[in-house]
Chains A and B, each alone.
Chain A
Amino acid sequence: MKILIIGGGISGISAAKVALAKRHDVTILESQREPGGLMARIANCRVGFKTFFDEIREKKGLTVINDTSIERVERAGRGFSVGLDNGETLNVDRVIISAGLTPYDPVEYKGKRVVTSLEYDSIIDQRQGELPSDFHKVAFFLCVGSRSKEYPLCSSVCCSYTIREIKWTLQRAKPEITVFYNDLRFFGQEFFMERAFRDSGVRFVRANSRYFDEDEDGVTIRYFAGGGIKEERFNYAVLAIGLRPNPELKTLSSLFCFSLNEYGFVKEKSPLTTDAEGVFVSGGALEPMNIKDSILTGFGAGFLASRDIDAKDDMKHYENIIYREDPPDFDIPVADHKTYLFYLATDNPRYAYLYEYASSRFIDAARMMKMQKRNVYVVTRNMVTPSYGEMDYEQARREGIVFIHLEEDEQVFFDNGIFNIKGTGRDISILNPMVIRLDDYIEGLKDKEFLSLYRSEPQLRWSPTKWDRKRYHTGFIRHPRDKRWEERETLGAIGEIILNVAEERVLPQVNEERCSGCGSCKNSCPHEAIEIEFKQKQLAVFGPNLLTYIPVAHIKEDTCAGCGLCASTCPSDSISL
Chain B
Amino acid sequence: MQRIDSNEINERVFELTGYRRQDFSVCLGCKICASVCTVNDLALNVNPQDILLSLFMGMEVDKGHPLLKYCTNCYQCTNACPWGIRIPEVIRAVRENQGIETLFERVFKGSIRIWGRVYEPYIFLKTGLFLAREGYLKYMPKWTEYMSFHLPKKVKIKTGS
Which residues of chain A have a CB within 8 Å of any CB of chain B? 143, 147-149, 182, 207-211, 221-225, 227-229, 338, 373, 375, 377, 394, 397-400, 402-405, 425, 428, 430-431
Please name the residue on chain A nearest to B44 by beta carbon. A229
Is the pair A229, B40 in contact by a Cβ cutoff of 8 Å?
Answer: yes
B28 at the interface (CB under 8 A from A): yes
Interface string of B42-62 (1 = CB under 8 A from A): 010111000001001110000
Partner among B6, B22, B53 whose Cβ is within 8 Å of the Cβ of A399: B22
B118 at the interface (CB under 8 A from A): no
Interface-lining segment among B77-85, B95-103, B108-116, B133-141:
B77-85
Please name the residue on chain A nearest to B33 by beta carbon. A224
B7 at the interface (CB under 8 A from A): yes
Is the pair A402, B82 in contact by a Cβ cutoff of 8 Å?
Answer: no
CB neighbours of A182 from chain B (8 A): 28-30
Which residues of chain B have a CB within 8 Å of any CB of chain A? 3, 5-7, 21-22, 25-32, 34-36, 40, 43, 45-47, 53, 56-58, 80, 82-84
Partner among A149, A207, A428 whose Cβ is within 8 Å of the Cβ of B82: A149
Is the pair B31, A207 in contact by a Cβ cutoff of 8 Å?
Answer: yes
Complex Cα–Cα for A338 and B35 (A): 35
CB neighbours of B83 from chain A (8 A): 148-149
Complex Cα–Cα for A210 and B22 (A): 24
Decide: A228 near B32, CB < 8 A? Known: A375-B7, A402-B53, A431-B3: no
Please name the residue on chain A nearest to B45 by beta carbon. A228
Partner among A373, A398, A402 whose Cβ is within 8 Å of the Cβ of B57: A402
Partner among A209, A373, A400, A431 whose Cβ is within 8 Å of the Cβ of B35: A209
Please name the residue on chain A nearest to B20 by beta carbon. A398
Decide: A208 near B45, CB < 8 A? Known: A148-B82, A402-B6: no
Is the pair B27, A397 in contact by a Cβ cutoff of 8 Å?
Answer: yes
Dominant SS at the B interface?
A: loop
Q: Report the minimum CB–CB distance from B99 to chain A (whole Å).
A: 26
Partner among B7, B31, B47, B84 whose Cβ is within 8 Å of the Cβ of A149: B84
Is the pair B25, A398 in contact by a Cβ cutoff of 8 Å?
Answer: yes
Is the pair A208, B7 in contact by a Cβ cutoff of 8 Å?
Answer: no
Is the pair A224, B7 in contact by a Cβ cutoff of 8 Å?
Answer: no
Tell me how many residue pairs across A and B have CB atoms closer than 8 Å. 87
CB neighbours of A207 from chain B (8 A): 30-31, 34-35
Complex Cα–Cα for A540 and B23 (A): 89
Decide: A208 near B32, CB < 8 A? Known: A148-B83, A229-B45, A402-B53: yes
Complex Cα–Cα for A425 and B83 (A): 25
CB neighbours of B45 from chain A (8 A): 224, 227-229, 425
CB neighbours of A428 from chain B (8 A): 57
Is the pair B35, A223 in contact by a Cβ cutoff of 8 Å?
Answer: yes
Name 15 interchain pairs, CB-CB below 8 A, sorted by A. A147-B82, A148-B82, A148-B83, A149-B82, A207-B31, A209-B32, A210-B36, A211-B36, A224-B31, A224-B45, A338-B5, A377-B57, A397-B27, A402-B6, A402-B53
Q: Report the minimum CB–CB distance from A106 to chain B (whole Å).
A: 12
Complex Cα–Cα for A209 and B30 (A): 8
Complex Cα–Cα for A227 and B3 (A): 21
Is the pair A404, B53 in contact by a Cβ cutoff of 8 Å?
Answer: yes
Is the pair A147, B28 in contact by a Cβ cutoff of 8 Å?
Answer: yes
CB neighbours of A405 from chain B (8 A): 29
CB neighbours of A375 from chain B (8 A): 5-7, 58
Please name the residue on chain B nearest to A377 by beta carbon. B57
Please name the residue on chain B nearest to A393 by beta carbon. B28
Q: Report the minimum CB–CB distance from B57 to chain A (whole Å).
A: 6
Complex Cα–Cα for A338 and B7 (A): 11
Complex Cα–Cα for A471 and B29 (A): 43
CB neighbours of A394 from chain B (8 A): 26
Complex Cα–Cα for A402 and B25 (A): 8
Q: Report the minimum CB–CB distance from B113 to chain A (whole Å).
A: 37
Complex Cα–Cα for A211 and B77 (A): 11
Q: Report the minimum CB–CB distance from A148 to chain B (whole Å).
A: 4
Partner among A221, A373, A400, A403 whose Cβ is within 8 Å of the Cβ of B21: A400
CB neighbours of A373 from chain B (8 A): 7
Decide: A210 near B32, CB < 8 A? Known: A147-B82, A373-B7: yes
Partner among A400, A402, A430 whose Cβ is within 8 Å of the Cβ of B22: A400
Please name the residue on chain B nearest to A183 by beta carbon. B28
CB neighbours of B82 from chain A (8 A): 143, 147-149
Q: Given contacts A210-B36, A225-B31, A400-B56, list 9 more A-B pairs with CB under 8 A.
A: A208-B30, A208-B35, A209-B31, A210-B35, A222-B36, A224-B47, A397-B22, A398-B25, A404-B53
Please name the residue on chain B nearest to A182 by beta carbon. B30
Q: Report the minimum CB–CB distance from B128 to chain A (whole Å).
A: 27
Complex Cα–Cα for A147 and B82 (A): 7
Is the pair B30, A222 in contact by a Cβ cutoff of 8 Å?
Answer: no
Complex Cα–Cα for A182 and B35 (A): 14
Q: Report the minimum CB–CB distance from A317 to chain B (whole Å).
A: 46
Is the pair B26, A397 in contact by a Cβ cutoff of 8 Å?
Answer: yes
Please name the residue on chain B nearest to A390 by beta carbon. B28
Please name the residue on chain B nearest to A181 by beta carbon. B30
Q: Report the minimum CB–CB distance from A76 to chain B (whole Å).
A: 47
Residue among B3, B29, B53 with most chain A CB within 10 A: B29
Is the pair A210, B6 in contact by a Cβ cutoff of 8 Å?
Answer: no
